[in-house]
Amino acid sequence: MLNHSHSNKYKFIKSLGKIDYEKMSCLDIGGSQNSVKQIIKNTKILDINNSDIKFDLIKDFVAKKKLPLKSNSFDLVVISQVLEHTINPDEIFKEAKRIAKKYVLLSLPNDLTLDNRIRLLFGLSSGFEEFGHKQVLNYRQINDFLKKNKGKEFRIINEFNLFASKGGRFLPLFFREFLAKSFPSIFCKEKFWLLEKNVD
């Protein structure tokens, strides 16, 4: 389900800021490609394939309505580029928050970037079906998802937009970041949030 590029890995580390992630226990939900595990060694993967915890987020979750882990069992829970592949993203994200002891790193894709809009305009495949997306999201919807599901128990401590255009690799990094931040509905490919659990 998850395919982090080198750029995503850099952004992932950047999102953690001054947090000492190397000493954290981490759960990567849907991370069968081991991208997070390459960065945070103490990571367990929950997925169908190539995982430490075998679990089908579509079939098994529908049957059990719960992830097979105790509450507050991992310092950090990563759920990146996963929820759009499921039929019950709200419930799965609720479970991710339950399992997280301190932090949740969430990312969701903006499927209606400029590249994809142009492809759709000319009747070309956008790739949503090929990627297995069961939810097709735009930038407003991904922000609405977090607003609706974050709850009072978590607060946002960092967020950023990943630049979209495939041809953008020829643009300077600062200009790509400017476009993704200033015109996110068409230039943000993926939005990341780092959430911290409120401690009363």
Q: Which has more confidence, 2 or 100?
A: 100
Lowest mean pLDDT: which of 41-55, 67-81, 105-119, 157-171?
157-171
pTM of the complete model: 0.88
Residue 5 to residue 9: CA distance in whole angstroms: 6
Confidence class of residue 11 from pLDDT cuts 50, 70 and 90? low
Q: What is the mean pLDDT of residues 23-41?
A: 86
Q: What is the mean pLDDT of residues 152-164?
A: 89
Q: What is the CATH number of domain 6-197?
A: 3.40.50.150
pLDDT per residue as tens digits for the range 177-195: 899 899 999 999 889 999 9
Q: What is the mean pLDDT of residues 12-33?
A: 80
Domain coordinates of the chain in residue numbers?
6-197
**For residue 160, pLDDT beyond 90:** no
Lowest mean pLDDT: which of 51-60, 125-134, 178-187?
125-134
**For residue 2, pLDDT beyond 50:** no
**For residue 43, pLDDT beyond 70:** yes
Q: What is the mean pLDDT of residues 144-155?
A: 95
pLDDT per residue as tens digits for the range 70-95: 999 999 999 998 999 999 999 999 99
Q: Which has more confidence, 186 or 33?
A: 186
Q: What is the mean pLDDT of residues 26-45?
A: 86
